[in-house]
Structure 1
Amino acid sequence: MPADHDRAYPRPIHPLHAVLLAGTVPLFLGALLSDWAYSSSYEIQWKNFASWLIVGGLVLAGFALLAALIGLVRGRSGRRRIIYVLLLLAAFLLGFVNALVHGKDAWASMPEALILSAIVTALVLAATWLGFSTLRAGVTP
């Protein structure tokens, strides 16, 4: 098999990596919507929903980040892949800070929690888009 074949057709994203990466989007988006609902209604249960959704998003983002780092260590690096890993890392770290902010008293976490949830959701959306566009088969890095 020619060496050019490997460069023209990179390995596709592993199915487990794809599930973990795609699963972060609805969890962090749900946390953003729950924070927005809490800021509109002052119903504490919305903040509790957001806290649990953030924890679930952090678990999936952590495993997706681990899979992305393994991919980098195995020699599949490129500028877009490094940006993907950095976006995922930033989303994970800010998501962790967001989880700590959600640990505050109910109204004491606002508007910080809502702003952090919006930023984390945007980062996760960008990382997911970049991850799927970079890691799929047939795309040159």
Structure 2
Amino acid sequence: MMSTVVTTRSWAIHPFHAAVLGGVLPLFLGALLADYAYWRTYEIQWANFAAWLLVGAMVITSVALLCALIGSFSRPRRLGYLLMLVLTWVAGFINALHHARDAWAIMPGALVLSVLVTVLALLATWLGFSSLRAGVVR
């Protein structure tokens, strides 16, 4: 039995896009962990950390969304990934607006929104990186 490696990269995303997409999930996860720490301790600085992590996550998600939009012109089959990234951006924006409120007023909604956005970011990252197969063994 003989196996042959066929190298095809028709679905791979650009390396810059991959690097930016790799930063989306850790920032949203950091905001979730900061919200959890605030929920457990009510130390206001944790709410500030979460708000700043959300700002960073929104900037990185915006760049990843721009890369996905540009990449969708050459690969129109990646529409599911683009829609999941748009959904992540919208939910993250709502979460950032919720975090702009007074620190005492954001709980428990901030924690619920952070869990939702982190799950959406996980799905978007998984869909984005699921195309990075360098070759297929036959």
Q: Give the TM-score taking structure 2 as reference length.
A: 0.88
**Higher relative contact order (Cα pairs below 8 Å, separated by 6+ residues):** 2
- Contact residue 95 and residue 120 of structure 1 kept, 8 A: yes
Give deviations 1:71-109, integer Å, cap 9, x for gaps: 112x3111xx21111111111111011111001011211
Counterpart of 2:75 in structure 1 is: 76
Tell me, what secondary structure is at the counterpart of 2:79? helix
TM-superposed deviation, 1:14: 1.1
Give deviations 1:101-129, integer Å, cap 9, x for gaps: 00101121111111111011001111111
Tell me, what secondary structure is at the counterpart of 2:130? helix
Q: Give the TM-score taking structure 1 as reference length.
A: 0.86
2: CA distance, partners of 1:130 / 1:115: 23
Assess, with a 3 A threshold, how the Cα gap between structure 1 residues 136 and 58 changes in structure 2: closer, same or farther. Answer: farther
Which consecutive unaligned segments of at least 5 residues does structure 2 have?
A: 1-5
Counterpart of 1:131 in structure 2 is: 128
Larger helix percent = 1
4+ aligned runs moved over 3 Å, structure 1: 135-139
Say whether residues 1:97 and 2:94 are aligned partners: yes
Tell me, what secondary structure is at the counterpart of 2:12? coil
Counterpart of 1:27 in structure 2 is: 27
Which consecutive unaligned segments of at least 5 residues does structure 1 have?
A: none
Give deviations 1:26-73, integer Å, cap 9, x for gaps: 100000000000000000000000000000001000000100010112
